Amino acid sequence: MSRKIVHSMNRWVLCCAASVLTCVGAQSFAENVYPNKPIRLIVPFSPGGVTDTSGRLIADQLSRRIGQQIIVENKPGASGNIGSAQVASSEPDGYTLVLGFDGTMVINPHIFATVPFDTIKDFAPIGKIGDTILVLVAYPKFEAQTLQEIIALSKQPGKTVNFGSSGVGSPQHVAMELLNQRTGSRLVHIPYKGGGQAMIDVQGGNIPLVYTAIAGAYPHIKSGRLNAVAVSSKERAPSLPDVPTFIESGIPDFVVSGWVGIFAPAKTPRAVVEYLNKELNAVLSTPEVKAKLEVLGIEATPGTPEQFATEIKSDLDRYGVVIKAAGIKAD
């Protein structure tokens, strides 16, 4: 057999091998090769909050499934921009991930003059962990206690109805500005540096309303120190089954929730993204994790990277319109 024929046969064998690998699928490759060392999960906020706690829960559960430690590192600063930018510029090998939430990924790009990353171009969505149900709460002795009463009161001449949130440009702030735009209400934002002081002030009657995540408000609602006006999820919250939604309260199609998810740098191999998504969904489907997330006010939402990416793009567009109309800018 001539060398030319042997060389041609070798090339044919290599091509066949490559085709077989392609047919078997990148997923199998990722499972056999990745991960072979610890993974870093950057949380771009200080320890202790709901976002940080949910990230640590998922990191712990994922570590058990994939057989490699997922090390959580807190990198706070600039409303999540600093830690997120660090991951955006990291090697796209699947060993550096970021915990992203809607405030950082879809609101910050509209309220900061410059943001050190492009949400669409610089990240590969792995999957959404879950949705955070938001609730509007009122001081029990405030003169308006239903959503329609609050909206009507805010429109009265000479009346000022304030609401507090965890800060300028927070998802809660943007959602209430959306309510103003949709209903013609004139609710006035009072920003706090975090939700803790806002919760103290609304319980003391220093401010009539606060829009916040259920997790922080739940014990005060149950104790009677706060009145739950409405939740902005599509369906009633399982933890607050007697509280109506904004839709039931007369605001059609008003569905606003926060979300938290996991991102990798752009250009991370598709096989790695699919592998991590599969393992994340497996974790989110366990009764144990669902229950622990529910305590944090988060509803687990397994799904594909494509579904998550579509939601991100939709929220970027939707919130961009609201923020521009309200003139919201970061401090």
pLDDT in tens, 171-199: 999 999 999 999 999 999 999 887 788 99
Tokens of 45: 């906020």
Do 119 and 265 fall within a single domain? Answer: yes
Do 45 and 105 fall within a single domain? Answer: yes
* pLDDT, tens digit (0-9, with 9 covering 90-100), for 70-86: 999 999 999 899 999 99
Answer whether residue 22 is part of any domain: no
Do 43 and 123 fall within a single domain? Answer: yes
Mean pLDDT of the chain: 90
What is residue 197's predicted lDDT score, i.e. its pLDDT?
87
With a cut of 90, say whether residue 41 has pLDDT above it: yes
The domain boundary residue, chosen from 216, 231, 246: 231
With a cut of 70, say whether residue 9 has pLDDT above it: no
What CATH number should be reported for the domain holding residue 200? 3.40.190.10
What is residue 87's predicted lDDT score, i.e. its pLDDT?
98
Answer whether residue 19 is part of any domain: no
Do 88 and 103 fall within a single domain? Answer: yes
Do 182 and 120 fall within a single domain? Answer: no
Phi and psi dihedrals of 128, rounded to 5? -85, 135
Residue 128: band (very low, low, confident or very high) from pLDDT cuts 50, 70, 90: very high
- State how far the alpha carbon of 18 is from the alpha carbons of 7, 11, 12, in Å: 17, 11, 10
Of 41, 25, 73, nearest to 265 by C-alpha is 41
With a cut of 90, say whether residue 30 has pLDDT above it: no
Do 290 and 222 fall within a single domain? Answer: no
What is residue 7's predicted lDDT score, i.e. its pLDDT?
43
What CATH number should be reported for the domain holding residue 271? 3.40.190.150
Q: Residues 108-115: what's their mean pLDDT? A: 95
Residue 6: band (very low, low, confident or very high) from pLDDT cuts 50, 70, 90: very low
What is residue 238's predicted lDDT score, i.e. its pLDDT?
86
Do 106 and 164 fall within a single domain? Answer: no
With a cut of 70, say whether residue 119 has pLDDT above it: yes
- State how far the alpha carbon of 320 is from the alpha carbons of 104, 110, 314, in Å: 13, 6, 10
Do 143 and 109 fall within a single domain? Answer: no
Answer whether residue 12 is part of any domain: no
Residue 15: band (very low, low, confident or very high) from pLDDT cuts 50, 70, 90: very low
Do 146 and 211 fall within a single domain? Answer: yes
Tokens of 273: 């993204």
Answer whether residue 263 is part of any domain: yes
Answer whether residue 242 is part of any domain: no
* pLDDT, tens digit (0-9, with 9 covering 90-100), for 247-299: 999 999 999 988 999 999 999 999 999 999 999 999 999 999 999 998 888 99
State how many domains the chain has.
2
What is residue 257's predicted lDDT score, i.e. its pLDDT?
87
With a cut of 80, say whether residue 166 has pLDDT above it: yes
With a cut of 60, say whether residue 24 has pLDDT above it: no
Domain residues for the domain of 208 are: 134-231
Residue 32: band (very low, low, confident or very high) from pLDDT cuts 50, 70, 90: low
Q: Residues 206-217: what's their mean pLDDT? A: 92
What is residue 12's predicted lDDT score, i.e. its pLDDT?
45
Do 102 and 122 fall within a single domain? Answer: yes
Do 160 and 224 fall within a single domain? Answer: yes
Answer whether residue 238 is part of any domain: no
Q: Residues 40-63: what's their mean pLDDT? A: 92
Q: Residues 84-109: what's their mean pLDDT? A: 97
- Comparison of pLDDT for 129 and 295, the residue scoring more: 129
Answer whether residue 317 is part of any domain: yes
* Rg of the chain in Å (alpha carbons): 23
What is the C-alpha separation between 190 and 165, in angstroms, rounded? 7
Beta strands 209-213 and 96-101, pairing class? unpaired
Do 124 and 142 fall within a single domain? Answer: no
Answer whether residue 166 is part of any domain: yes
